[in-house]
Amino acid sequence: MTSMISTSVIEAENESRKEALKRDYEGLGERLSRRGIDIESIKRKVAAYGVAVPSWGVGTGGTRFARFPGPGEPRNIYDKLEDCGVIHQLTRATPSVSLHIPWDTVSDLSALKEKGTALGLSFDAMNSNTFSDAPGQAHSYKFGSLTHTDAATRRQAVEHNLECIEIGKALGSKALTVWIGDGSNFPGQSNFTRAFERYLDSMKQVYAALPDDWRVFTEHKMYEPAFYSTVVQDWGTNYLIAQELGPKAFCLVDLGHHAPNVNIEMIVARLIQFRKLGGFHFNDSKYGDDDLDTGSIDPYRLFLVFNELVDAETRGAKGFDPAHMLDQSHNVTDPIESLMTSATEVCRAYVQALIVDREALDGYQQENDALMASETLKLAFRTDVEPILAMARLEAGGAIAPVATYRASGYRTKVAVERPAVAGGGGGIV
């Protein structure tokens, strides 16, 4: 196994924090046992949990206004995998990487797979891109891709998705995520019904090429890049797509792709109930699709989403197997630090949801005791579960304090020397 960060750095950093962690863990264990919760079983669950890192996440993101690249940005997919290796080595929570084609230029697939294996990383869902034009492509996506009025453009977009499936097969991926930028900027510009008919027709061709053990995830988004209408605008349309396509099609919920104040956890519950929840793109937002770091704005909402997931897990909901991925844009931070922090936030929400007293909650719901039902959730959310997360990392060979350990390692300074600055780069917001 290739270690990106020297294990001696991790050990030295952990040594200085180990005793305090042990005391904190024991103290929390005692408090939880008073509530009838076994801290060890919670720790085992979070230790087995993983969230995928998007390959594009390790590059600096940007806005319509500017992008400010940081030092040592990854130059290619191999550099990106190494950065993902750092994140997993320190957090032990991100065992897989999600590729984005053609932002990731892949040529030697077996070398790529080998590199991933050496870093302890597998390949999560493949992401196709038909929302921007690749150099030299025959037909432009300016006016759409899978829903374009021109059949040849639609065909090209379908072919690209088929190519993504082929690449994914070679890498051991088991899912394709399709997000399209198709939509309109003017009332009347697009016929809603015809555009959606064309979408379904194109997606049926993609679906037909899916291997039996694959799933296809479609992602809804309310607005952007089209600002009047998008073809897959909300979870209702997304659900229709999954229903129309068949049993291998599922809805992906990107937390940022909703209007402010939308009850996302309720959407999650509905999709679970009707067995169409495919997975998540985790991020956070204040105003729209801000792609802010997961848990940085509204950690309670993230917890409420996980509350639905743990509820489904606990009752053994049929067909429940969502894929978890981070999808956010790092404009002002070191992407490695943001992704480590965000992976930890996802794990934290999971653990907080695991310690909800579900029996008590059920009782309060039955009795219509609104206040105590809410307090039951709040009790779990208010519990500082960091010792569980840190102990799980320590026992798995990770860092008690990932960001401090990363800074102590000098990784960014080292790669800044090896990787000369490049213009552009594959940052993006989808």
Indicate the residue among 32 and 277 with the shorter CB distance to Mn ion.
277
Percentage helix, strand, coil for the chain under 3-state DSSP, each rounded to 5? 50, 10, 40
Q: Write out the H or E segment, with its range, that includes residue 40.
A: helix 39-47
Q: What angle do CA 405, 327, 253 make, to 5 degrees?
A: 135
Among positions 23-52, residues that touch Mn ion (CB under 5 A) are none
Is residue 88 within the footprint of Mn ion (CB under 5 A)?
Answer: no
Rounded to a whole number of angstroms, the minimum distance from the CB of residue 80 to Mn ion is 17
Is 289 one of the binding residues for Mn ion (CB under 5 A)?
Answer: no
Instruction: Out of 327, 349, 355, 364, point to the residue binding Mn ion (CB under 5 A).
Output: 327
Number of residues counted as binding Mn ion (CB under 5 A): 3
**Euclidean distance between CA atoms 122 and 280, whole angstroms:** 18
Q: Sort strands 229-230 and 183-184 into parallel, antiparallel or unpaired.
A: antiparallel
- Residue 254 or 290: which CB sits closer to Mn ion? 254
Peptide bond into 102 cis (omega under 30): yes
| CB nearer Mn ion, residue 281 or residue 348 | 281
Q: How far is the CB of 255 from Mn ion (least distance, A)?
A: 9
Residue 288: both structure tokens together = 């729209």
Torsion, Cα of 48, 54, 406, 66 (10° steps): -150
Per CB under 5 A, the segment of 203-211, 285-293, 327-335, 420-428 that binds Mn ion is 327-335
Q: How many CB atoms lie within 10 A of CB 77?
A: 21
| Complex with Mn ion: residue 216 or 351, whichever CB lies closer | 216
Name the residue nearer to Mn ion (CB basis): 124 or 254.
254
Smallest separation (angstroms) from Mn ion to the CB of 323: 12
Q: Which of residues 236-265 bind Mn ion (CB under 5 A)?
A: 254
Instruction: Report how far Cα 34 is from the mean position of its chain's Cα atoms.
Output: 34
Task: Compute the least distance from the CB of residue 73 to Mn ion, in Å.
Answer: 21
Stretch in the footprint of Mn ion (CB under 5 A) among 46-54, 278-286, 305-313, 335-343? 278-286
In the list 43, 160, 258, 281, the residue contacting Mn ion (rule: CB under 5 A) is: 281
Q: Is 13 in the site for Mn ion (CB under 5 A)?
A: no
Question: Binding to Mn ion (CB under 5 A): which residues in 203-242?
Answer: none
Q: Which residue has the tokens 């198709």?
A: 182
Q: How far apart, in Å, are the Cα atoms of 380 and each of 141, 300, 341, 348, 363? A: 47, 11, 20, 11, 16
Tell me how far apart the alpha carbons of residues 210 and 218 are, in angstroms, rounded to a whole number.
Answer: 14
Q: Which stretch binds Mn ion (CB under 5 A): 187-195, 324-332, 350-358, 402-410?
A: 324-332
Of 281 and 324, nearer to Mn ion (C-beta) is 281
Given the complex with Mn ion, which of 43 and 281 has the nearer CB atom? 281
Instruction: Measure Cα distances from 133 to 155, 228, 365 in Å.
Output: 15, 21, 52
The strand pairing partners of 398, in sequence order, are none
List residues near Mn ion by CB under 5 A: 254, 281, 327
